[in-house]
Structure 1
Amino acid sequence: MPGRGGVLGGLGLGCAGMVALIAASTLASDLAHDLKWHIFTSLQLPLILTAALTGAVLTVSAATLQVVLRNPLADPGIIGVTSGASLVAAVLILTAPVVMAEHFYYLLPLGCFVGAMASTWFIYRLARKLQQATVAVILAGIAIATLSGAVIAWLYLFSDAQSLRNLTFWLMGSLYQADGTILVVAGPIMLVSCVVQIRAAKALNWLYAGDHAAIAAGVSPQKIIQRSLLAASVGVGAAVSVAGSIAFLGLLVPHLLRLALGFDNRLILPASALCGALFLLTVGAATEWLGVITLPVSMITATLGGPLLLWAIYRGQWR
């Protein structure tokens, strides 16, 4: 029979083994929890914030531009706002020197703001000069988009293969390019842009009745237009810097909402922001669910949005 010391030693070893097993299990659990938390904060949370903020600001900016320019086709992508931002972003991505890499996360949003505001200012001046002629504004936007595409094509000739691949994918839109650093800069700007435009909804309603009616109601058309254009262009610039060029979203969502809710901007603008955010969140969730490849966002929005917009146009004409 083993002595008392042997029994106590065995019990001690058993207890030590149990403690070691519990400690190892706790450590593994903590490591798994830390890994899950790291994945959430580094990958999933930026994806959620990028999709929600980008979808909201693109759709509410499109709804605002359609009222300000008196043009139902005034989508940031169609009238050249996105193209101006994309052009500056492409120049920075392909030509920024190595010494600027440290500050690139701050330079990219700033460059997109400059490009978006420059193209918006040009379109606004042209619209005023031509008294908001629908065809002229659309043609000007096409001209800006074509010129921007031509400059980017010339840049392609002087860039390496990896830069070209990154730029091509970026220009087609992606929810996976942003991280915490760039979202800290661009995220609040997109949020403020949405808030400013939604707060101006009541004043934008007076623009439907014309400048004289707006002035009689105490609303300055020129000030509200300039403020709305500034907020929209800054918001679109921030969205492009975060997610690249995303097509069709701003044209689709406000059009569907106006068919369903009417033309009161107090409803249309917040509903546009909410539905745009939900739309891109759904796209991001679908991409995550597929789990095989990262699809360009513009390809998905165009594939889903094209048939929906055709149906909405047909439904509106039928009514």
Structure 2
Amino acid sequence: MIRGLSSPRFRRYRLVLLVLAVLVALSLLLGAGLGAYPIPPLAIPSILLRGEGVEYQVLTALRFPRVLGAALVGALLALAGAVLQGLFRNPLVDPGLIGVSSGAALGAAIFIVLWPGAGALEVYALPVFAFLGGLLATHLLWRLAQTAFGVQVTVLLLSGIALNALVGAGIGLLTFLASEEELRSLTFWTLGGFSALTWRLLLAGLPLALVSSLLLLRLARPLNALALGEREAFHLGVDLEALKRRAVTGAALGVGVAVALAGGVGFLGLVAPHLFRLMAGPDHRYLLPGAALLGAVLAVVADLLARTLAAPAEIPVGVVTALLGGPFFLYLVLRYKREVYRA
């Protein structure tokens, strides 16, 4: 045990986690300071101690809930992505494949188009509709993949692809029926962003986010066993059906909260786990928390770019993550293709 803790591989994992923790703090500091109303990041502690002024109001009312919410959303998406990639044993798997992202987007679209003029209720009801849509979609996929021999992961994956196509058609129909004002709101929601985050919304989603994180982080050792194959994991004492159920439930809950808070922010669940594997390794005991930290950094940086690249205008965060994550996904596909060809 002591020899394992002092091994070069363990030291590398520990070093990468430490660096990522520092990067999270730095990204939060930069995200809180930079923007249309710039505040020197090093002056933030003194501003908070002073407890008054325009800069204090900007930080506490606007910037802090936004950057903390972005970090929470990025961590949830990356953690869910790492678990699902371990469950499917495929680094190309994204949380959107289990249907929760598309289901949440459809729930939000239904509320925006079919319940116009909600007024103050929209701030609270829209995330609720998105969250319920994601959970219902995941429950439907789970039922479709249930067989006499348990949940078939391949069927779950294929059902998710079919559901994403159907949801895309539903959102397209609602877009056709939407008014001009509803269309703007729908477009913003589907593209994703953190500008609508408030302390109240953030605190409302935090309990569910904690439940999801606890469920997923406890799956590290079973996922390490599953990496050897389902038969080997079974002989090592892993309850495969319970593992699948907990992984999908925890991922659905986490991604549902993320989509309810920020809309359609894609590719973080794909990119962050793979980057951590490249930096440190595939051990899920370190991969899961490391992916969460890296996802938080990427989300805060993406939000910072969205706020500053076209200031005073704001680019949707989902556009930024797609521009960064799309080429990375193509790189993964080409790399996987070369590995299969060599085999």
Same fold (TM > 0.5)? yes
Q: CA deviation at 1:95?
A: 2.0
In structure 2, C-alpha distance between the alignment counterparts of 1:273 and 1:144, rounded to whole Å? 27
Q: CA deviation at 1:182?
A: 1.3
In structure 1, C-alpha distance between the alignment counterparts of 2:303 and 2:225, rounded to whole Å? 37
Residue of structure 2 in register with 1:185 after alignment: 204
Q: Which amino acid aligns with 2:252?
A: S
Match of 2:326 among 282, 302, 306: 306
1:45–1:32 distance in 2 versus 1, CA, 3 Å: closer
1:70–1:32 distance in 2 versus 1, CA, 3 Å: closer
Residue of structure 2 in register with 1:6 after alignment: none
Residue of structure 2 in register with 1:7 after alignment: none
Q: Does 1:55 align with 2:74?
A: yes
Q: CA deviation at 1:117?
A: 2.2
Residue of structure 2 in register with 1:74 after alignment: 93
In structure 2, C-alpha distance between the alignment counterparts of 1:231 and 1:132, rounded to whole Å? 16
Match of 2:141 among 116, 123, 144: 123
Residue of structure 1 in register with 2:292 after alignment: 273
Higher gyration radius (CA): 1
Alignment of 1:127-206 (within 5 A): 127=145, 129=147, 131-133=152-154, 137-206=156-225
Q: Which amino acid aligns with 2:217?
A: I
Q: CA deviation at 1:115?
A: 2.0
Q: Which residues of structure 1 form unaligned runs of 5+?
A: 1-29
Residue of structure 2 in register with 1:96 after alignment: 115
Residue of structure 1 in register with 2:3 after alignment: none
CA offsets 1:70-106 (integer angstroms, 9 cap, x no match): 44333122443200111011112222365x6555444
Q: Which amino acid aligns with 2:320?
A: I
Q: Alpha carbon RMSD of aligned pairs, Å?
A: 2.8
In structure 1, C-alpha distance between the alignment counterparts of 2:274 and 2:146, rounded to whole Å? 24
Q: Which amino acid aligns with 2:271?
A: L
Paired residue secondary structure (1:64): helix
In structure 2, C-alpha distance between the alignment counterparts of 1:74 and 1:119, rounded to whole Å? 18
Q: CA deviation at 1:45?
A: 0.8
TM-score by length of 2: 0.74
Alignment of 1:99-110 (within 5 A): 101-110=119-128
Q: Which amino acid aligns with 1:223?
A: A
In structure 2, C-alpha distance between the alignment counterparts of 1:227 and 1:86, rounded to whole Å? 23
Paired residue secondary structure (1:47): helix
1:199–1:140 distance in 2 versus 1, CA, 3 Å: same
1:32–1:271 distance in 2 versus 1, CA, 3 Å: closer
Among all aligned residue pairs of Structure 1 and Structure 2, give the percentage whose two residues are the same amino acid. 38
Kept after mapping to 1: 8 A contact 2:92/2:333: no
Q: How many residues align?
A: 287
In structure 1, C-alpha distance between the alignment counterparts of 2:67 and 2:332, rounded to whole Å? 28
CA offsets 1:205-253 (integer angstroms, 9 cap, x no match): 2222344544444432222221221111011111111110012221122
**Which deviates the most, 219-228 or 82-91?**
219-228
Paired residue secondary structure (1:46): helix
Match of 1:209 among 213, 228, 241: 228
In structure 2, C-alpha distance between the alignment counterparts of 1:236 and 1:138, rounded to whole Å? 16
Kept after mapping to 1: 8 A contact 2:305/2:320: no
Q: Which amino acid aligns with 1:303?
A: L
Paired residue secondary structure (1:33): coil
Paired residue secondary structure (2:186): helix
Q: Which amino acid aligns with 1:96?
A: W
Residue of structure 1 in register with 2:315 after alignment: 295
Paired residue secondary structure (2:95): coil
**Which deviates the most, 299-308 or 270-279?**
299-308
Kept after mapping to 2: 8 A contact 1:73/1:138: no
TM-score by length of 1: 0.79
Q: CA deviation at 1:123?
A: 3.4
In structure 2, C-alpha distance between the alignment counterparts of 1:124 and 1:75, rounded to whole Å? 17
Q: CA deviation at 1:186?
A: 1.3
Residue of structure 2 in register with 1:22 after alignment: none
Kept after mapping to 1: 8 A contact 2:101/2:256: yes
Kept after mapping to 1: 8 A contact 2:272/2:295: yes
